Structure 1
Amino acid sequence: MRTVDQEQHFFCHNKTDVAWEKMSLLRKINRVLLVLLIFMVYLILYSRMHRAPPAPSHTDIRAESGVVGGAVGGAVAEMAEAEEDILVVICAAEERMGAAMTTINSIRSNTEANVFFYIVTLHDTVAYVRQYIEKTELKDIRFKILEFNPKVLKGRVRPDSSRPELLHPHTCLRKALLPLRRAIYLDDDVIVQGDIQDLYNTKLKPGHPAAFASDCDLPSEVVRTMGMQTTYMGFLDYRKLEVRELGINPSDCSFNPGVFVADIETWKRQKITKHLETWMQQNFKNNLYSSAMSGGVATPPMLIVFHGKFTTLDPIWHVGHLGWSPDTQYSEASLNEAQLLHWSGRFKPWDYPCVHMELWEKWYVPDPSRRFTLVRPNS
């Protein structure tokens, strides 16, 4: 006869097994692909070191290229390789498809630069991505769809039943083309009000593989409501010896991984991806940071690996945490000056309640299939 603890362990263990077997559930989890994509970008960048593709049977990602109504395949690959192209990587989760398309539309509408989008999604969502693009004003964008296979996630993260939607942080990608010297990653809860060319041209300090937005640069009223979530203490478990041995001051300012510019050569030279993988494995073994405490397992390894060696983005290129509270309003001046707005947090601009929804909705492209709809007070 099992004890209560044994019953709970048995239940959680079997619940986890079922979750891995039913990978279709990933399509119903709002945040999973956002977390996946952060680490996907790391490995795409790292893949530049591995020119030879793996055997097809081991492919974790499949690329489908296109300029809707125009060339596909090799022609698109050639365009993506142009030095003047700005590569933007973004995720397109099924339940947040309208969000990703809004981000894309805000970028294309505010620049004359040549932008090439890498759009990452699951197999069952590829057709949805294409339809959204083909049947809307986005039909002129240049893009490549990266089809992600979530089965490779099994065994790479420690289950945490308190926040199951944040448990999918990492996988190994062995096949992707990224020949450019740098790339931009954006979460799908972002709109770009400025020229993406300016963000792309961010000058990184010598030896810095990436530029992030420091949480020290948040407005004071936002910092007060966020508490420890603006410092390393809010993400790492300082009760663990491995964390304390890092020598990182727990009051050091954290940074936001939802927007960053990466220098590929420096990233490769410093073996950033290998270090990130190491810390993911360490957490799997020793549970160095809980997803409940840190809001997911994507940010902490980045905070560790990039501590002291990232360039800080100009604050106007990341006015963030607009989704932290449905009540905290930003000043009109700061919103107008902002080149990029980020609704990081639980309260998203396509949902309700949320602050400053009208700024996001300005770039919203309605879903031609009507699967993605806005939630508003009168809806």
Structure 2
Amino acid sequence: MTLRRVNVLILVLLAVAFLIIVQRNLLNLSEFLHKEVPDAGMILPFESELSPDLRSETVRKGEEIPVLITATEERLGAVVAAMNSVYQNSKANVVFTIVTLNDTVGHLKLWLSKTKLKNVKHKIVIFKPELLKGKISEDPQTLEAAKPLTFARFYLPVYIPEAEKAIYLDDDVIVQGDIQELYETNLKPGHAAAFSEDCDSASSKGIVRGAGNQNNYMGYLDFKKEDIKKLGMRANTCSFNPGVIIANLTEWRNQNITRQLEHWMELNKQNDLYSKTLAESIVTPPLLIVFYKRHSNIDPMWHIRHLGTTGAQNRYSPQFVKAAKLLHWNGHYKPWSRTSAFTDVWDKWFIADPTGKFQPVRRHTGDN
């Protein structure tokens, strides 16, 4: 055997030995990884070395779901809790439009950017009170002038011009279901919006025993006024709650709903059309008129109301509250105050204010 053949044979044997060693090491590594993370798949060694700030959240894909919510300075914590509940309970591609006033923008931006909501898609829009000029009382002492943002829902197509459909939410809500389901609420042909009627079983009958009289149109409008009488509406028709709205914005634009609502705002200013007895809400009456017999209904479990009223703690069982897909603290008692029911549910979604300005009021241990 020549020297050259011996050298070739040695090289072949070395190559085989090297491959055996490599194969054995790979098998050992695979076995190690399998034992360490049997359900998580292979974890690359350098993943744990990445800065948490560089780990982008999984991009939410699919159709955008526009959600509009208003933000006042004194209730900013409510907005944050509502947004957090929507975002955490859904994988949908939610995009928030937050309508606010100039004096709130800085605080709102800081709160969103310094907390886990920094990845939430949103745009901030400044509400211009001039929109309401000539339509509501300009006396700063009146309820109307004090809360201009409550009328923002009238202008949904203005704030979300690119969308065909959108959701409006009051700030005193917590969403426990997947917002995608609410968004997919079926609206009947020709209907520009869906609401929750005040006679629905989940919030007014059976479950909420003793909640008081069911609300109807008589509670919001003065049926002695000629402008109301000539509409031919039945006074005992169930009213609806506009704290949650599913809007078909294409129909809203085609039917010029915003202008119709403004018309009834102007008429009320001239002729005082609203009921004197109630309704706290000066926003609801124009909606009741414009959408009389022309709206679709929201699944009752997607708008459980009256959590902000007296005795709500006794009317709803904890099990029912847990099962509800959307909770609404409409009424005087808000979940960030000491007098409200089910504050523990709201607290789960509240994110502390980085500035410390907004602090939920809670009972001290020694309180009765």
The normalised TM-score by structure 2 is 0.75
What secondary structure, in the 3-state scheme, does the structure 2 residue paired with 1:96 have?
A: helix
**Alignment partner, residue 135 of structure 2:** 156
> Is the Cα contact below 8 Å between 1:158 and 1:287 reproduced in 2?
no
**Alignment partner, residue 46 of structure 1:** none
The match for 1:98 among 73, 77, 81 is 77
Residues 278 and 246 (structure 1), Cα distance of their counterparts in 2 relative to 1, 3 Å cut: same
> Is the Cα contact below 8 Å between 1:158 and 1:284 reproduced in 2?
yes
What secondary structure, in the 3-state scheme, does the structure 2 residue paired with 1:91 have?
A: strand
> Is the Cα contact below 8 Å between 1:83 and 1:180 reproduced in 2?
no
AA aligned opposite 2:180: Q
The match for 2:65 among 86, 104, 111 is 86
What secondary structure, in the 3-state scheme, does the structure 2 residue paired with 1:227 have?
A: coil
AA aligned opposite 2:114: K
CA deviations 1:314-333 (Å, max 9, x no partner) are 00100011102255531233
Alignment partner of 1:191 is 2:174: yes
In structure 2, the gaps of 5 or more residues are 1-52
The Cα shift of 1:147 comes to 1.1
Alignment partner of 1:376 is 2:362: yes
Alignment partner of 1:351 is 2:351: no
Spell out the pairing of 1:1-379 with structure 2 (5 A cutoff): 84-158=63-137, 163=143, 168=148, 170=151, 176-217=159-200, 218-220=203-205, 222=208, 224-227=210-213, 230-289=215-274, 293-329=278-314, 330-378=316-364
> Is the Cα contact below 8 Å between 2:62 and 2:92 reproduced in 1?
no
**Alignment partner, residue 20 of structure 2:** none
**Alignment partner, residue 11 of structure 2:** none
Cα distance in 1, alignment partners of residues 212 and 138 from structure 2? 26
CA deviations 1:40-68 (Å, max 9, x no partner) are xxxxxxxxxxxxxxxxxxxxxxxxxxxxx
**Alignment partner, residue 15 of structure 1:** none
What number of residue pairs does the alignment pair up? 301
AA aligned opposite 2:358: F
**Alignment partner, residue 11 of structure 1:** none
> Is the Cα contact below 8 Å between 2:204 and 2:211 reproduced in 1?
no
Cα distance in 2, alignment partners of residues 164 and 223 from structure 1? 32
Residues 144 and 301 (structure 1), Cα distance of their counterparts in 2 relative to 1, 3 Å cut: same
Cα distance in 2, alignment partners of residues 133 and 233 from structure 1? 42
Residues 132 and 292 (structure 1), Cα distance of their counterparts in 2 relative to 1, 3 Å cut: farther
The Cα shift of 1:164 comes to 6.0
AA aligned opposite 1:363: W
Cα distance in 2, alignment partners of residues 88 and 291 from structure 1? 33
Residues 176 and 187 (structure 1), Cα distance of their counterparts in 2 relative to 1, 3 Å cut: closer
What secondary structure, in the 3-state scheme, does the structure 2 residue paired with 1:283 have?
A: helix
> Is the Cα contact below 8 Å between 1:167 and 1:296 reproduced in 2?
no
What secondary structure, in the 3-state scheme, does the structure 2 residue paired with 1:321 have?
A: coil
The Cα shift of 1:149 comes to 2.6
The Cα shift of 1:170 comes to 4.7
Cα distance in 2, alignment partners of residues 308 and 112 from structure 1? 34
Residue identity over aligned pairs, in percent, reads 43
Residues 344 and 223 (structure 1), Cα distance of their counterparts in 2 relative to 1, 3 Å cut: farther
In structure 1, the gaps of 5 or more residues are 1-68, 71-78
CA deviations 1:216-250 (Å, max 9, x no partner) are 1123364743426x111111111212112221111
Q: Greater relative contact order: 1 or 2 (C-alpha under 8 angstroms, separation 6 or more)?
A: 1
Cα distance in 2, alignment partners of residues 126 and 319 from structure 1? 30
The Cα shift of 1:253 comes to 0.6
AA aligned opposite 1:343: W
Cα distance in 2, alignment partners of residues 324 and 88 from structure 1? 26
The Cα shift of 1:182 comes to 0.2
The Cα shift of 1:159 comes to 6.0
Residues 297 and 135 (structure 1), Cα distance of their counterparts in 2 relative to 1, 3 Å cut: same
Cα distance in 2, alignment partners of residues 175 and 264 from structure 1? 10
- The CA RMSD over aligned residues, in Å, is 2.7
What secondary structure, in the 3-state scheme, does the structure 1 residue paired with 2:294 have?
A: coil
Residues 167 and 311 (structure 1), Cα distance of their counterparts in 2 relative to 1, 3 Å cut: same
The normalised TM-score by structure 1 is 0.73
Residues 291 and 138 (structure 1), Cα distance of their counterparts in 2 relative to 1, 3 Å cut: farther
Cα distance in 2, alignment partners of residues 291 and 150 from structure 1? 25
